[in-house]
C-alpha cells in the first residue's frame, strides 16, 4: 500500500460504501440459519473496515467483535459505535494470524473481497486456522471473494459508483487489476477515490497485491486446512442462485462449517523479552550483562592528594604532577680486586674528554684437553663411527647396477641344480625352481648326491639299488656272467 492509502481515510471510505447494509445482512443471517446447528448470537467480523456489517449486527442484538489491521479504521468504528450506543469490541490484528482474548463465537464473516489479500497458501492456511480457533463447535464462517469466470475478460470490468453524504462526495473506482502474475496468481489491485469535500477536490489512490482464487482451488485449500468443510456457496447475495448454475458471477459467497480443531499456535515471546531480543546484536538471546568488578582499595599517593587539593574553582580537573624519578641506590662496595694489565693500560690511556674507554672482550678459555685414554669411548660405540667414516659420500657412490641374476651352487651339491638369486633395491630375494623329476633306476646317480627317498616298489628293486650304490653288481647280472 502506498502512503496515500484508502484505508487511512476511513471517513471517505465509509461514504463510498455507505449504502444500506440491510439486504446483505439478511442474506448472512439466512445462511447462518441454514448451516449452523443452533441459533447464532455472536459474530466475529474479520477485516471489518469502518464497521458496516459489525454495526448492523449490533443493531440486531448480536454480540459483535471486529478486527482489522488499520488503526484509523478501528478508531472511526469505535467513535460510530459510541455515538450510536452499540457494544462493539475492536482489535488491531493481522488477519493472517491472530489471537483474541475472546473465543467461542457462533459465526464469523469476511466481506468486501478482503480474503484476496491473502496472497500465498501459507497465509490462507494460517488465516483459516486462526478463525477456526475462535469459533465454537460447528461454527459458521462466511467468505466473500472474487474469482475468474470469463476467459475473454478474466479480470472483469472496472466498477465505478458515486456516493454523497453531508456535503462530501466520493467517486469510487474498484476492480482494476493490473500486472497479472500467472505463477503466483497475483494481480495489482488499483483503488481510486475522487473526493470533493466542501468544494475541495482530492484524489486518493492505492495499489496493493491481491490473489486470484479459482473455485476448485478454494475447495482444495479449505480441505487442506482440515478445520472447515464447504456447506454451500452462492453467486452474490442471492440464496436462489447457488454457484452451480450458469451464468456465473465473479463474486462468490462461500459458507464454511467448522469440523475440527486447528493445531495450537506457537508460543509468542513476552513484550519485554521481545524488546530485549530486538536490542540484542545477535538476536538469538538476551545480551549478557557483566557486573562491574569491585575496585581494589588503594591508598592515594601524597602527590595526588596535593594535586587534588590545589584544583582551581573553575571546575576543571587538576593535572597530576609528574612523579619525581627515584634516585638509584648506591651499590654496595665491591670486593677489592686487582685489575688486569690490559685494563690498567686502558684506564691509563683514557682521553681528557671524559669518555670512558671501551673494555676489550675477554677471551674465552679453552677447555683443557684430557688424555685420550681417559675419554676413549667403548669399542661398541666406536664401530658405528668407523663405519660412518668408511661409507662413501653421495657424490662418490657408484650407480646401482641393473638387476642381474647370479648363479651359484650350494654347498654339498656341486653337481646339483643351480639356485638363482636376485638382488634388487638392497633386498635379497631368493627363488628356487621346482625339483627336477628323480632319475630312473637304471641310470647311475650323480656322485655325492643324496640317495633318493624310498618309494613303494618291490623288495628286489630296493636290494638292487642298494648294491648299485655300494659298487657290487646285482645278483641277476652276476648270474648272467656266470651262465
Domains in the chain, ordered, with CATH? 7-149+212-258 (3.40.50.150)
- Lowest average pLDDT, out of 97-111, 119-133, 268-282, goes to 268-282
277: left (phi over 0), alpha (psi -120 to 50) or beta: alpha
Range scoring the smallest mean pLDDT among 16-25, 82-91, 176-185, 455-464: 455-464
Can you tell me the mean pLDDT for 444-466? 60
pLDDT at 447 over 80: no
pLDDT band per the 50, 70, 90 thresholds, residue 182 = confident
Mean pLDDT over 184-201 rounds to: 92
Q: Tell me what pLDDT residue 45 has.
A: 97
- Check pLDDT > 80 for residue 215: yes
Q: Which of 155, 204, 185 lies closest to 11, judged by CA?
A: 204
The answer for 179, left when phi > 0, alpha when psi is -120 to 50, beta otherwise, is: left
Lowest model confidence (mean pLDDT) among 63-67, 81-85, 179-183: 179-183
As a whole number of angstroms, the distance between CA 45 and CA 51 comes to 8
pLDDT averaged over every residue in the chain = 74
Q: How far apart are CA 69 and CA 254, in angstroms?
A: 23
pLDDT at 265: 76
**What is the average pLDDT across 253-271?**
83
- Quick one: average pLDDT of 290-317? 52
- pLDDT score for 147: 83
Which of 126-135, 154-163, 436-445, 457-466 is the least confident region? 436-445
- At 257, the pLDDT band (50, 70, 90 cuts) reads very high
Say what the pLDDT of residue 283 is: 41
Average pLDDT over residues 239-244: 86
Q: Residues 46, 39: contact at Cβ < 8 Å?
A: no
Does pLDDT of 343 surpass 70? no
| Per-residue pLDDT at 326 exceeds 70 | no
Unique residue bearing C-alpha cell 448470537: 41
Average of per-residue pLDDT across 78-105: 95
Q: Is the pTM of this model over 0.75?
A: no
In percent, how much of the chain has pLDDT > 90? Answer: 42
Rounded to an integer, the average pLDDT of 286-297 is 54
8 A C-beta contact, residue 269 and residue 283:
no
Handedness of CA 105, 110, 111, 112 (dihedral sign): positive
Q: Which residues contact 448 (CB under 8 A, 6 or more apart)?
A: 412, 413, 414, 415
Asked if residue 352 has pLDDT above 50, the reply is: no
More confident residue, 344 or 234: 234
Arithmetic mean of pLDDT, 58-68: 96
Mean pLDDT of the region 118-123: 94
Residue 478's pLDDT is 45
Q: What was the pLDDT predicted at 390? A: 62
Strand order in the sheet with 168-181: 159-165, 168-181, 186-197, 200-211
| Residue of 110, 80, 107 whose CA lies nearest to 93 | 110
Q: Which residues on adjacent β-strands are paired with residue 258?
A: 228
pLDDT score of 446: 57
Query: What pLDDT score was predicted for residue 342?
Result: 46
- The set of cell numbers assigned to 423 is 638382488
Averaged pLDDT for residues 439-456: 56
Beta strands 406-408 and 228-235 are: unpaired
DSSP string, 89-102: EEEE--TTS---S-
pLDDT tens readout for residues 129-179? 999 999 999 999 999 998 876 666 666 677 899 999 988 999 999 888 888
Amino acid at each position: 500500500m502506498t502512503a496515500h492509502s484508502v484505508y487511512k481515510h476511513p471517513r471517505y471510505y465509509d461514504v463510498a460504501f455507505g449504502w444500506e447494509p440491510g439486504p446483505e445482512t439478511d442474506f448472512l443471517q439466512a445462511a447462518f440459519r441454514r448451516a449452523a446447528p443452533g441459533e447464532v448470537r455472536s459474530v466475529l467480523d474479520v477485516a471489518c473496515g469502518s464497521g458496516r456489517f459489525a454495526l448492523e449486527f449490533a443493531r440486531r442484538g448480536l454480540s459483535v467483535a471486529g478486527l482489522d489491521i488499520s488503526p484509523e479504521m478501528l478508531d472511526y468504528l469505535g467513535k460510530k459505535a459510541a455515538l450510536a450506543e452499540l457494544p462493539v469490541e475492536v482489535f488491531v490484528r493481522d488477519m493472517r494470524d491472530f489471537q483474541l482474548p475472546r473465543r467461542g463465537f457462533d459465526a464469523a464473516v469476511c466481506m468486501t473481497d478482503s480474503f484476496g489479500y491473502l496472497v500465498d497458501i501459507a497465509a490462507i492456511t494460517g488465516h483459516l486456522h486462526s478463525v477456526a480457533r475462535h469459533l465454537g463447535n460447528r461454527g459458521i464462517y462466511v467468505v466473500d471473494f472474487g474469482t475468474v469466470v470469463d476467459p475473454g475478460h478474466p479480470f472483469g470490468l472496472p466498477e465505478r459508483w458515486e456516493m454523497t453524504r453531508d456535503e462530501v462526495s466520493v467517486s469510487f473506482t474498484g476492480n482494476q487489476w493490473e500486472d497479472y502474475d500467472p505463477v503466483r496468481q497475483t494481480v495489482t489491485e488499483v483503488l481510486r477515490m475522487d473526493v470533493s469535500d466542501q468544494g475541495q477536490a482530492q484524489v486518493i489512490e492505492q495499489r496493493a497485491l491481491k490473489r486470484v482464487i479459482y473455485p476448485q482451488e478454494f475447495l482444495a485449500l479449505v480441505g487442506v486446512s482440515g478445520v472447515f468443510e464447504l456447506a454451500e456457496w452462492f453467486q452474490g447475495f442471492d440464496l436462489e442462485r447457488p454457484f452451480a448454475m450458469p451464468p456465473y458471477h465473479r463474486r462468490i459467497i462461500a459458507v464454511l462449517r467448522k469440523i475440527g480443531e486447528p493445531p495450537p499456535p506457537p508460543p509468542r515471546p513476552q513484550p519485554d523479552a521481545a524488546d530485549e531480543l530486538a536490542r540484542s546484536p545477535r538476536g538469538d538471546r538476551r545480551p549478557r550483562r557483566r557486573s562491574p568488578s569491585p575496585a581494589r582499595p588503594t591508598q592515594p599517593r601524597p602527590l595526588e592528594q596535593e594535586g587534588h587539593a590545589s584544583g582551581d574553582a573553575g571546575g576543571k580537573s587538576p593535572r597530576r604532577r609528574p612523579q619525581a624519578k627515584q634516585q638509584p641506590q648506591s651499590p654496595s662496595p665491591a670486593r677489592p680486586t686487582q685489575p688486569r694489565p690490559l685494563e690498567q693500560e686502558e684506564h691509563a690511556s683514557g682521553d681528557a674528554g671524559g669518555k670512558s674507554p671501551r673494555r676489550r672482550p675477554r677471551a674465552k678459555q679453552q677447555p683443557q684437553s684430557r688424555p685420550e685414554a681417559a675419554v676413549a669411548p667403548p669399542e661398541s660405540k666406536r664401530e658405528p663411527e668407523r663405519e660412518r667414516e668408511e661409507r662413501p659420500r653421495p657424490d662418490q657412490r657408484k650407480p646401482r647396477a641393473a638387476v642381474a641374476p647370479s648363479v651359484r651352487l650350494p654347498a654339498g651339491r656341486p653337481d646339483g641344480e643351480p639356485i638363482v638369486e636376485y638382488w634388487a633395491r638392497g633386498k635379497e630375494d631368493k627363488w628356487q625352481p621346482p625339483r627336477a623329476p628323480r632319475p630312473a633306476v637304471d641310470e647311475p646317480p650323480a656322485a655325492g648326491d643324496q640317495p633318493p627317498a624310498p618309494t613303494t616298489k618291490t623288495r628286489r628293486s630296493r636290494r638292487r639299488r642298494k648294491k648299485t650304490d655300494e659298487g657290487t653288481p646285482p645278483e641277476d647280472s652276476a648270474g648272467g656272467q656266470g651262465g
